[in-house]
Structure 1
């Protein structure tokens, strides 16, 4: 009734996050055969994703290795566009120039000398994918081959964390649509791997696990920036776990998490800063110069597109968007703190998910493949299925219709809201997705994590791991001692 069994041990209602050193009772996800099946489903989705993008390649190529005929019309009209194939020309990728070192940004915002508009580790990944390629088709194939292991790793880790719910990753339409749209699978792997380390590296202390996860977040920052958002919730999780009977805040552990993330990001960027500071800075300069326009596909464009030609509007967006994003982060962390005070555990995964929703909604750029960032949280957090299905439907509507709409405009064909279903589907996708991100922000913060629902036998959840008392030193009551100090800490 109050969270304790009759033998003085925590009942199955107790949370299992932060478990260390109890290998015999550690939570587990799928069996090996289940994980293999999950990875096979993921491999199938990745193969379909590659086949979809490869429809835009060949059959002929021009002198620069660009697919012919009518590459751009096919990319939009057949909905097989990918940034990977598109950026083969225009960033010196086709010339196999090592990124950043000898490049920069021109006064008109054009990148040159091998600079790409992505953080350094993604730039290196792009360079590796192009190393032996001589056409955009070869570049797409090599890039897909490089990124496939990361997509499979995400499936494996999510299966270990949340069981068959990981099918939301393996069989989701966004994985087919966006797996090879851009270079996002490696950064998603960093984020998923960090959660796995925190909750499944059972032989290490919480501080050590969180520090290792922070290193992965730092690497993620050097790939696509967004995992840096999750450092603060993780630090608060470590801070509130504390040590000793007095339950003092673990300030040192929290600072260690932040330091590990920052240090890793600096170490990843430092060689490029030293080798070519101007080229390294150019990628950040490029992003800071981006204006709200059709290429950004954000609510700011679709809601205020009649004002996007105004310099005043663009300047205002450079201030309003970041401030609102920071406000959403503050709200998410504050709600997480209220949950901590009520339940005794800081819900860092749920807070991270909500922060990502705030970022996706309010940032001035919302590329289609960003849905891949959100998918793992549909697995890791137990939000209602209606939210997930609705979001995936809205995302598919947007992800397909946006390119068809580009095609109509390029071809001079009618593309207004009253001219056909393309524009209507696009608006359903854009505004449906925006409304759902608002709802998901709230839903994530109110939900529980699925990570620790699984017992050691698999997805039945019949058994739970016990908290490690050596790490947490929380008194557990028995029928004889009457000590109830552990109740608010461990009861859900």
Structure 2
């Protein structure tokens, strides 16, 4: 029988790629929906159209759609004005009862975007919790603030064209923001897939994370994850300047992408490769400065609002400090604050604890028997920041998702953590609803925060354990060294002479797996298509 098409010249199977339906019991059970685990004679990596990346993209789009439908109840319009004018229907605290709350909607009016105001230039008077009057500006870093401004301009331009489908401008604005956030999350998944090495299917869990449904459209954090993952991918492809530029832009969106420079420093120090790190760090700082400098010079008071707000605010409901307060009645490190007074001690404690967490991660990175992978140290640093910071906004958990699937690719463990973290949204909304409106008392919410924090701590413990026992690391036991490592991938240790013995690995007998995979072969589109 003749073949319907010309056979490929290279008909080898990509056996080097992980096949989760055979290696993971949970995936094996799920595969029964589509016919069961892959057969032992199947050709892996030879499908021309239905590639892993395209399948993962399909998963991503489905979960982004679920995320949009989860927020759709909060952009419903109804005749609520005095003359029957249409407005957002948030009657009966719909945003909490329907659990569809998104910062994007109230910020449209709160940041004066509905007036067409330019961020950082426009100011307004606001009343603080103590009754004092405060002059306010756009409270987000420059890239996030300008993203809101551009989205507002697109929404206003859309509403000015009569033959286009129309809705309330705030609803149009939300959809523009959501579309951009969806594209950013797709970029995040693409970069994560490229960073997964032969375990390409690990990124499917990031695409199908419950946290995506709940939080991808809660704020603007998908933009930051795209720059962070893109920066890591540029580093993996040995383009340190581009990596620094992307991390710098990410730091001008949300601060956390810049934290990845710390793990890179530790790993480059361990391998004696500080030149590439210096180029990356210089590019990151330059990109951050170039983005921030025009706004800082033109509107210095508006530009500094982000820093002022973060300095002045107390412990948020999601922080461990508020959890302690809610159960013990503790008045906090600073006690009752006078109007306009900063929580100086709380700021100091959070800074010291984060520095201590970074020092602990650096110690682990330097003393582990085998150089840790970049994603492992990156997860530990970002998790350390969230656990010690006085603010853990719910959507911040998205920061951890790409790092987690790369650092600890144990699907059942990660799914358990993601589910716990996503479910915190339910008591959070019921707590914000208020007991007088049949909501939940604060302790119901803070109890779930404790479970979330314990789940993240457990992930950190497992990652540290695998760092010190690399034989348990699924990435390394599959034959890869560090797919995200770039110049660090396969690099031997080369400590500078000035590093003391206490910061070097101690001689230990590292167990060797019974089956040692074949040496890693160079990848090419012909032999390992994504």
TM-score (norm 2): 0.71
- Is 2:438 aligned against 1:409? no
* 1:171 Cα deviation after fit: 0.9
How far, CA to CA, are the matches of 1:157 and 1:318 in structure 2? 34
How many angstroms apart in 2 are the aligned matches of 1:211 and 1:93?
35
Match of 2:249 in 1: 219
Q: CA deviation at 1:37?
A: 1.6
Match of 1:299 in 2: 320
Residue 73 of structure 1: aligned partner: 93
Aligned to 1:458: none
Please list, as runs of the form range in 1=range in 2, the aligned pairs for 1:378-457 lying within 5 A after superposition.
378-382=404-408, 384-409=410-435, 411=437, 413=438, 415-416=440-441, 424=444, 426-447=445-466
Answer yes or no: is the 8 Å Cα contact 1:381–1:444 preserved in 2. Answer: yes
RMSD: 3.6
Find the partner of 1:210 among 214, 221, 240: 240
Higher relative contact order (CA 8 A, sep 6+): 1
Residues 29 and 161 in structure 1, CA contact (< 8 A), matched pair in contact too: no
1:40 to 48, 58, 62: 58
Structure-1 separation of matches of 2:412 and 2:262: 29
Match of 1:198 among 189, 210, 235: 235
Cα 1:336–1:409 change in 2 (3 A) is same
C-alpha change, 1:97 and 1:73, in structure 2 (3 Å) is: same
DSSP-derived class of the 1:307 partner:
coil
- 8 Å contact 1:105–1:279 — kept in the other structure? no
Q: 1:106 to 1:56 in 2, by over 3 A?
A: closer
CA deviation vs aligned residue, 1:328-367 (integer Å, no higher than 9, x gap): 111011101112xx22x35332111001111111110111
1:452 Cα deviation (Å)?
A: 7.3
| Aligned equivalent of 2:351 | 322
**Aligned pairs, how many?**
418
Aligned counterparts of 1:179 and 1:468: Cα–Cα separation in 2: 32
Structure 1: distance between partners of 2:147 and 2:432: 29
Kept after mapping to 1: 8 A contact 2:266/2:365: no
Counterparts in 2 of 1:8-23, with a 5 A limit?
Answer: none
Q: CA deviation at 1:374?
A: 0.6
Query: 1:96: how far off?
Result: 1.8
Instruction: Find the residue that maps to 2:75 and give its secondary structure.
Output: coil
- Secondary structure, counterpart of 1:223 in structure 2: coil
Going from structure 1 to structure 2, the CA distance change for 1:211 and 1:235 (only over 3 Å counts) comes to: farther
**1:280 partnered with 2:303:** yes
Aligned to 2:139: 117
The answer to whether the 8 A contact 2:334-2:346 is kept is no
Q: What is the distance in 2 between the residues matched to 1:31 and 1:266?
A: 44
The match for 1:83 is 103
1:372 aligns with 2:395: no
User: What is the distance in 2 between the residues matched to 1:191 and 1:468?
Assistant: 18
Structure-2 change in CA distance of 1:450 and 1:39 (3 Å)? farther
Matched ranges for 1:118-133 at <5 A: 118-131=140-153, 132-133=155-156
Deviation at 1:110, TM superposition (A): 7.1
Q: Report deviation, 1:116.
A: 2.0
Mind listing any 5+ residue stretches in structure 1 that lack a counterpart? 1-11, 13-27, 242-248, 418-422, 456-460, 475-487
Q: Are the structure 2 counterparts of residues 96 and 111 from structure 1 closer, same or farther at C-alpha, using a change threshold of 3 Å?
A: farther
Which of residues 60, 64, 71 in structure 1 aligns to 2:78? 60
Mapped contact 1:57–1:67 kept (Cα < 8 A): no
Partners of 1:450 and 1:198 lie apart in 2 by: 22
1:480-491 aligned within 5 A: none
SS in 1 for 2:114: coil
Which of the numbers 119, 124, 138 marks the counterpart of 2:172? 138
Distance 1:393 1:383 in 2: 16
Q: 2:286 aligns with which of 251, 263, 266?
A: 263
Following TM superposition, by how much is the alpha carbon of 1:100 offset from its aligned partner in structure 2, in angstroms? 0.9
Is 1:391–1:436's contact at 8 Å kept on the other side of the alignment? yes
CA contact (8 A) 2:417 2:455 kept: yes
State whether residues 188 and 230 of structure 2, in contact with CA within 8 Å, keep that contact through their aligned partners in structure 1. yes
